């Protein structure tokens, strides 16, 4: 009976054309061999199971082939190729850097380099996992790597290029191997299944390829595992059962429940998932990936980004037509928030269920973000029209707290009927000094009555419109500032606003200092207090101006220069300090021969 060989070994590439998923790289190597432009050292780097060591072996066999084929491949018939295929070639040496990572191992390698090839042109040294070498071993290897004999070629392989010192990297030609795509792995698995007489469902092979995460060796190992458990009949159900993969049917049903706003069904589906033993975080991440695939499937240009079988891609496309892009964006945001908060949550099941409820409410609840009709979510744009004549309504005279704060240089112009009350802009953070002048307006100001509403036809005819307009503007208040009243109002604001602790703490320690007739400054300790005061400054100015009856009152903020803080002394240090500064106490201690504890 023939001995069983695992697929990862049996179907390991032996020629460049059988290497999976690295066409550009293998073409470059073949061109280098064909043009006889070989470097003394190569570095093959990339994830595990993508063909680094296999390509190194194929490269070593090809450059020593006595009768290379026209397509750049080894002939597999000459003595050198037969010796390599049978594992008895003395021209190709493989070393494991993990077990030969010391300086002594490099010295042994240097001794072997001196032996010329017995058959063929080159001796090739393949050093796997070269990043495991110690720094001393790397340094000992430098001279040999830079100037080896003409018949020696080094091929270094690693999964962690960042751990290799730059002096080694600079002496090598670097080839980066890519992760193998889902489609390439499915194609190779289909070939292996046909060679082994195994019936395999394409959807099942796709699941195996996804589980392998870009490594062909892992995919072949998983393939053997599923084939053994399913008795050479690999179906989709047997694959997901053996690999503990969450079926995408759950996610299709969940999205249908979200679209219908059916909270109960979504919670019951989640219960089914938990009853089958799947982790909730794994479920949430799978849901996020499913919604991402739906977003991709909504546009024909991005459908190739789907790494699923053709039948499943059709299902994604059909369900994606029911969704609005804004729904996908909002749903992915909810899933991402659940993922971020999952580890810190004390009730993880509740967190996931709350996320499902929110996803249901995206369509059916009061927070609808998208529908199939884009007009329902598009903002309504209106063009300004002339105001229609309306009956004059009596208007209350604005109170003192509602009065607009005009600038001293240019009085505030009256608002037109089309203009809304301006929203105060957020304060800008500053580094050292922030000046707040009287150009800032109060945020709670009521709309000023329009001047046009105060002008009647007779005034226009008599040429008195300008006089009527100026009478509508209130004169600036500029009552002399009393220091006692200023301090009293300052502390009144502190007591009335406890919800701003940083700003209030800064106000307690920094009282206003006069720097002009109506201008004051406060000195704070750090930029954080500056930003906190900027945040409340507009409200503070309004409060102070109304209380002082002075619309020219302004405050600037400065940061105190760095002052050396007084050292906090321990009780013993404090006592020593008192003794040093008080001769009477020192003499008393000496007289009574007292000692410090």
Strand partners, 43: 156, 174
More confident residue, 526 or 418: 526
CB of 298 closer than 8 Å to CB of 395: no
User: Residue 112: which of 73, 69, 82, 151 has the closest Cα?
Assistant: 151
Q: Which tokens belong to 325?
A: 């892009």
The predicted structure's pLDDT at residue 432: 40
DSSP code of residue 372: S
The predicted structure's pLDDT at residue 474: 57
The predicted structure's pLDDT at residue 350: 93
pLDDT tens for residues 327-347? 999 999 999 999 998 988 889
**Mean pLDDT across the stretch 394-399?**
42
Full set of structural domains in the chain with CATH: 7-176 (3.40.50.300), 182-243 (1.10.8.60), 248-374 (1.20.272.10), 427-562 (3.30.300.180), 566-597 (no CATH)
Nearest 10 degrees: Cα torsion 100, 101, 102, 105 = 30
**Mean pLDDT across the stretch 47-63?**
89
**Dist CA 506 CA 482 (whole Å):** 22
The predicted structure's pLDDT at residue 369: 52
The mean pLDDT of the chain is 77
The predicted structure's pLDDT at residue 354: 93
User: With pLDDT > 70 as the criterion, what percentage of the chain qualifies?
Assistant: 77
Strand partners, 513: 521
The predicted structure's pLDDT at residue 338: 92
DSSP code of residue 374: G
Position 283 pLDDT exceeds 80? yes
What confidence category does residue 15 fall into, taking pLDDT thresholds of 50, 70 and 90? Answer: confident
pLDDT tens for residues 83-133? 888 888 888 888 888 887 788 888 888 888 888 887 778 889 998 888 888
**Dist CA 283 CA 266 (whole Å):** 13
The predicted structure's pLDDT at residue 499: 79
- For the ranges 163-172, 236-245, 542-551, the lowest mean pLDDT is seen at 236-245
The predicted structure's pLDDT at residue 596: 59
Position 443 pLDDT exceeds 60? no
**Dist CA 436 CA 431 (whole Å):** 14
Helix axes 280-297, 248-260, angle to 10 degrees: 70
DSSP code of residue 478: B
CA angle 472, 474, 478 (to 5 degrees): 170
**Dist CA 250 CA 507 (whole Å):** 58
Distances (CA, A) of 396 to 34, 399, 447: 94, 9, 11
Position 394 pLDDT exceeds 50? no
Greatest mean pLDDT among 80-84, 202-206, 336-340, 564-568 lies in 336-340
406, containing H or E segment: none
The predicted structure's pLDDT at residue 595: 63
Greatest mean pLDDT among 229-243, 301-315, 343-357, 415-429 lies in 343-357
**Dist CA 481 CA 477 (whole Å):** 11
pLDDT tens for residues 257-276? 999 888 999 999 999 899 88
**Dist CA 474 CA 449 (whole Å):** 12
The predicted structure's pLDDT at residue 268: 94
**Mean pLDDT across the stretch 351-365?**
83
pLDDT tens for residues 134-184? 888 888 888 888 888 888 999 999 988 888 888 889 889 999 998 888 888
Distances (CA, A) of 127 to 45, 54, 219: 12, 12, 25
């Amino acid at each position: 009976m023939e001995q069983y060989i695992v697929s990862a070994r049996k179907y390991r590439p032996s020629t460049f054309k059988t290497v999976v998923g690295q066409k550009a790289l293998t073409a470059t190597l073949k061109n280098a061999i064909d043009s006889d432009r070989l470097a003394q050292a190569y570095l093959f780097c990339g994830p595990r199971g993508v063909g680094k060591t296999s390509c190194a072996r194929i490269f070593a066999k090809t450059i020593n082939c006595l009768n290379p084929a026209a397509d750049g491949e080894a002939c597999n018939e000459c003595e050198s190729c037969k010796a390599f295929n049978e594992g008895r070639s003395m021209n190709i040496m493989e070393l494991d850097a993990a077990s030969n990572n010391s300086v002594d191992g490099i010295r042994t390698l240097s001794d072997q380099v001196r032996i010329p090839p017995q058959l063929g042109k080159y001796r090739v040294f393949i050093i796997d996992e070269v990043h495991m070498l110690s720094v001393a071993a790397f340094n000992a290897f430098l001279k040999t790597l830079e100037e080896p004999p003409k018949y020696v070629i080094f091929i270094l392989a690693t999964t962690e290029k960042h751990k290799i010192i730059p002096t080694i990297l600079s002496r090598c030609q670097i080839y980066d191997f890519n992760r193998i795509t889902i489609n390439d792995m499915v194609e190779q698995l289909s070939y292996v299944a046909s060679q082994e007489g195994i019936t395999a469902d394409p959807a099942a092979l796709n699941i195996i390829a996804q589980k392998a995460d870009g490594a062909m060796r892992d995919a072949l190992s998983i393939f053997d595992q599923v084939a053994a458990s399913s008795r050479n009949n690999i179906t989709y159900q047997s694959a997901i059962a053996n690999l503990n993969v969450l079926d995408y049917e759950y996610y299709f049903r969940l999205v249908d429940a979200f679209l219908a706003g059916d909270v109960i069904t979504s919670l019951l589906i989640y219960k089914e998932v938990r009853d089958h033993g799947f982790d909730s975080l794994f479920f949430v991440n799978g849901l996020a990936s499913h919604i991402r695939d739906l977003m991709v499937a909504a546009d024909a240009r991005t459908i190739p980004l789907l790494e699923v079988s053709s039948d499943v891609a059709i299902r994604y496309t059909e369900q994606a037509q029911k969704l609005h892009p804004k729904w996908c964006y909002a749903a992915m945001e909810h899933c991402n928030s659940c993922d971020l908060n999952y580890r810190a949550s004390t009730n993880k099941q509740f967190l996931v269920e709350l996320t499902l409820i929110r996803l249901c409410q995206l369509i059916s609840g009061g927070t609808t973000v998208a529908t199939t009709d884009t007009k329902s979510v598009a903002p309504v744009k209106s063009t300004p029209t002339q105001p229609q004549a309306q009956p004059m309504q009596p208007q209350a005279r604005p109170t003192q707290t509602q009065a607009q704060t005009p600038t001293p240089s240019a009085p505030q112009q009256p608002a037109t009927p089309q203009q809304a009350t301006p929203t105060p802009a957020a304060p800008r953070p500053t580094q050292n000094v922030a000046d707040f002048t009287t150009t800032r307006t109060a945020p709670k100001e009521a709309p000023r009555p329009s001047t046009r509403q105060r002008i009647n036809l007779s005034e226009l005819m008599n040429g008195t419109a300008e006089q009527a307009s100026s009478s509508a503007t209130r004169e600036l208040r500029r009552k002399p500032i009393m220091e006692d009243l200023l301090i009293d109002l300052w502390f009144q604001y502190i007591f009335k606003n406890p919800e701003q602790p940083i700003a209030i703490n800064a106000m307690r320690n920094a009282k206003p200092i006069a720097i002009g007739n109506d201008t004051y400054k406060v000195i704070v300790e750090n930029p954080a207090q500056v930003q906190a005061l900027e945040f409340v400054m507009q409200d503070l100015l309004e409060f102070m101006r109304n209380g002082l009856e002075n619309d020219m009152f302004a405050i600037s903020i400065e940061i105190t220069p760095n002052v050396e803080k007084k050292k906090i002394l321990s009780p013993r240090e404090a006592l020593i300090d008192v003794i040093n500064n008080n001769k009477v106490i020192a003499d008393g201690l000496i007289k009574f021969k007292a000692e410090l504890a």
